[in-house]
Amino acid sequence: MKIGPLQCDFKKRFYVMGILNVTPDSFSDGGAYHDPERAMDRVREMIAHGVDIIDIGGESTRPGAPGVSLEEELRRVQPVLKKIRQESNIPLSIDTRKAEVAQRALEAGTDMVNDVSAATFDPEMVSVVKKWGVPLVVMHSRGDPKTMASLADYGDVVLEVVRYLRQRVLDLTSQGVPSDKLILDPGLGFAKKPEHNWQILHRLELLCQLPQPILIGHSNKSFISNILGNKPHQLHDGNIAVAVLARMKGAGMIRVHEVASMVRVRRVMEAYEGGLRE
C-alpha cells in the first residue's frame, strides 16, 4: 500500500502514526496544539523522531465529546495542513468523519483519511475517497462520542468486531473502494469496556487474518491508565507494552502520541523479526 510517498509493507515492519490533535478538548492532549505554531513545533519534533505518518484531527472523539461544526473543524485543521505542506512531504492522514473536511484536506496535500465512523457518518465520504484514490482507515465503533459508552454490550466482542469490519469491507468494495486501499482498526476504547479492549488484544490474530492491515490506536487510553495510573511515565510504559503485544499478534500500524520511543521499539521489533526470517 502506498500512503503518499511512503510504500508500506506491513508484513516486514509496523508503521508509526503520530497523533496531532488541533483541538481544545481531546482526552490526552486537548489544547496543547490548538495554536498552529505550536502544532508545527510538534510536527517538526515527530519528523525528527522518525514518524512515518501524522494523523491530524480537528474534532475530539473521546467519550462524551460534543460534535463540532464543519466550519469550526476546517478552521482548526486547514492552517496546520497548509503550514506542514510548506515545509515537508511527510505522509499525512486526516482524522475526520466529515466528507467536506476530508475533501479540503486532500486538496491541501493529505494522503489518507482516518474515519472513526467507518464511512457511515457522512454518506459522501465514500465518493471523496474514491475520487482521490487514497487509503481509508475503517474503524469499529457504535453510536457517536456522546452515546458510545452506553452501547458497550457484546456477546463475543472479538467476533463481533471481526464481523463488522469484514462487512464494512464488503460494503465499501461494493461501492467501488479498492480493498487494497483499506486499513482496519478495531477501535480500542470506542464503545468498549476495559475488558473488551484486552480481549481484542488477546485475540488480535483473528483480526490480523483479514486481508487488510490492522491499525491499533491504544495510546494513553483509560484501559491502560486504569492499571498503571495517569502519570506520563506510567502511560508511556503501558503504551509500549501494548504496542509490542499488538505487533507480535500481527498489527501493521500503531497510532500514538509519543513517537520517539515507539520508533525505538520498532527498531527492536524489526531486529527480532529479521532474526526470525534469517
* Residues that are catalytic: 221, 255
Classify residue 210 as exposed, middle or buried by CB count within 10 Å of its CB (0-12, 13-18, 19+): middle
Q: Kindly provide the residue ranges of all beta strands, DSSP E only, lying in 26-162, ordered along the sequence.
A: 53-57, 92-95, 112-115, 136-139
| CA distance linking residue 135 with residue 157, whole number of Å | 26
Of residues 51, 15, 22, the one with CA closest to residue 37: 22
Output DSSP code: residue 229.
Answer: -
Residue 215 phi/psi, 5-degree rounding, is: -105, 135
Classify residue 256 as exposed, middle or buried by CB count within 10 Å of its CB (0-12, 13-18, 19+): buried
Of residues 94, 115, 241, the one with CA closest to residue 187: 115
| CA distance linking residue 120 with residue 142, whole number of Å | 11
> Do 104 and 74 touch, CB atoms closer than 8 A?
yes
Q: Kindly provide the residue ranges of all beta strands, DSSP E only, lying in the chain, ordered along the sequence.
A: 2-3, 6-7, 15-21, 53-57, 92-95, 112-115, 136-139, 182-185, 215-216, 253-256
